[in-house]
Amino acid sequence: MTKKRNNPETIAIHGGDYRSDPTTNAVAVPIYRTTSYQFHSTEHAANLFALKEFGNIYTRIMNPTNDVLEKRVAALEGGLSCLTVSSGQTASTFSILNVAQAGDNIISSTDLYGGTVSLFTHTLSKLGIEIRYADPANPQNFEKMIDDKTRAFYGETLPNPYLRVFPIQEVSDIGRKYNIPLIMDNTASPVICKPIEYGAAIVIHSLTKYIGGHGTAVAGSIVDSGNFDWTADPKRQPLFNEPDASYGGVIWGKAVPELTGANVPFAVRARVCLLRDLGSALSPDNAFAIIQGLETVALRMKQHCNNAEKVVNFLKKHKEITKVIYSTEHDKHLADRAKKYLKNGNGPMVGIELKGGIEAGKRFIESLKMFYHVANIGDVRSLAIHPASTTHSQLNDEELAASGVTQSYVRLCIGLEHIDDIIEDLDQALNKSSKGNLKAVS
Ligand code: PLP
């Protein structure tokens, strides 16, 4: 394409260099099921390994199917480079391991996906990386925790169960004063929020969710915005300013812009060091499945959000509901934040609290006929889960309250079915939620 098109609907279909397969003219992106790629000559091979030339070496580190997905996700987020990996969990893990080593710390939002909390609190801490938690209600909480060993800030754009939007620009601005990059997990809000526009340096996704969109493949991505100066304060970012013994003494912060002409040392280092060593590569089959979802993500996000908005309006008037949790249904300060950061939709997820407590929550879930009861988000199908009796059942009341989950909290991911059918299913299940015991539910 000659004209650069910036609309997400178009990027999702045409983004990146791919127009058709160069050898067969196939229009759909082929699945390149190969582990390796023949070198043209010994010189070519040596140049690839020395990063003097870029090209395919081995599918653990790069693959042409994944490459199309990477270019499209980078374009969708307004970044310069992207690395796809085997899952969203790998994306979070790599985003931290790429900046921090034993003795360093990361300052993270308290509002996080449970799997990320577990990764941070239990696994990364065992590797000597300390995660300090800051309440994002006040962005200054991030500044208070900075010390010489702070390597990054971490947040989620639209975290559940609270569904309060993260103050991206405010926290990024604080970080930039100290040369600290902001890593944003944008899993729940592709298209409707572009964190790089507000100063985020890195954007990660669980592609498993809204970008894949159909519940068929697990995948993750890491986008390098190209907007962060990794060399401005060498002491702050040692992994980008000290010679890397694992790669012939290269200094990533300097070498990558020199070699590629692009300021993307984060993406390159994650690929050639972390994928090389840890090996959590995305299979091209799964990349293909995610590409099919990506092509319609802009349309789907619009419709998820439209349906969610209608569900919120319905639930607010329902007699069995005590509280509706939604990005715009907070106090003014947080509702204004949602307005600032979310465009063309306020999010696909809705939380509810039921009058009848934990039993009502269980009865409601058991009474749903069309919604699926699953521990997932970001599917074309409407989904529901009652955290207090499932994902959060090990927590006591105090821990539940801290995580934003009450006994009767139910998380709804509003799907793409007709809105009348979604509301009808919710209504009939809500009306059963206060009645009798579980056995009486038909
Ligand atoms: N980030 C968020 C916000 C998530 O919701 C999830 C999974 O639910 C992940 C990361 C991890 O993604 P995956 O399941 O693809 O490993």
Name the DSSP class of 109: E
- Residues in contact with ligand 1 by the CB-under-6-Å rule are 87-89, 92, 113, 115-116, 156, 185, 187-188, 206, 208, 218, 220, 377
Ligand 1 center to residue 89 CA distance, Å?
6
Q: How far apart are the first and last CA of the chain?
A: 56
Q: Is the pLDDT at 400 greater than 90, yes or no? A: no
pLDDT for the residue numbered 392: 79
The model's confidence at residue 373, banded by pLDDT at 50, 70 and 90, is: very high
CA distance 428 to 311: 14
Residue 410 class from Cβ within 10 Å (0-12 exposed, 13-18 middle, 19+ buried)? buried
Name the DSSP class of 413: E
Strands (E), 282-392: 321-325, 349-354, 372-373, 383-385
Q: Is the pLDDT at 441 greater than 50, yes or no? A: no
Q: Encoding tokens for residue 1?
A: 């394409």
Query: In the chain, what's the furthest Cα-to-Cα distance?
Result: 76
pLDDT for the residue numbered 357: 87
Instruction: Quickly tell me which residue has 């010679």 as its tokens.
Output: 243
Ligand 1 center to residue 250 CA distance, Å?
33
Looking at the chain, how many residues does it have?
442
Global pTM value: 0.96
State which of 87, 109, 113, 385 you would mutate to test the pocket of ligand 1, scoring each by most atoms of that ligand within 8 A of its C-beta. Answer: 113
What is the residue type of 31? I
Question: Which residues lie across from 224 on neighbouring strands?
Answer: 81, 202
CA distance 365 to 362: 5
Ligand 1 center to residue 93 CA distance, Å?
11
Q: Which of 84-98, 300-314, 349-363 has the lowest mean pLDDT?
A: 349-363
Q: What does the angle CA 253 – CA 258 – CA 264 come to, to the nearest 5 degrees? A: 50
> What value does the mean pLDDT of the chain take?
94
Q: Is the pLDDT at 1 greater than 80, yes or no? A: no
Average pLDDT of 329-346? 96
State which of 110, 160, 166, 209 you would mutate to test the pocket of ligand 1, scoring each by most atoms of that ligand within 8 A of its C-beta. Answer: 209
pLDDT for the residue numbered 256: 96
- The number of beta carbons lying within 10 Å of the beta carbon of residue 127 is 12
CA distance 417 to 26: 32
The model's confidence at residue 51, banded by pLDDT at 50, 70 and 90, is: confident
pLDDT for the residue numbered 3: 63
In terms of DSSP H, where are the helices of 317-412?
A: 332-341, 357-367, 397-403
pLDDT for the residue numbered 393: 77
Q: Is the pLDDT at 384 greater than 80, yes or no? A: yes
Ligand 1 atom with minimal separation from the 187 CA: 3
pLDDT tens sequence across 74-124 = 999 999 999 999 999 999 999 999 999 999 999 999 999 988 998 999 999
Ligand 1 atom with minimal separation from the 92 CA: 10
Residue closest by Cα to atom 13 of ligand 1? 88
Ligand 1 center to residue 243 CA distance, Å?
33
- The number of beta carbons lying within 10 Å of the beta carbon of residue 155 is 28
pLDDT for the residue numbered 436: 59
Average pLDDT of 220-239? 98
All structural domains of the chain, each given as residue ranges with its CATH number in brackets, are: 8-293 (3.40.640.10), 298-432 (3.90.1150.10)
pLDDT for the residue numbered 281: 98
**Residues 156 and 112: beta-carbon distance below 8 Å:** yes
The model's confidence at residue 440, banded by pLDDT at 50, 70 and 90, is: very low
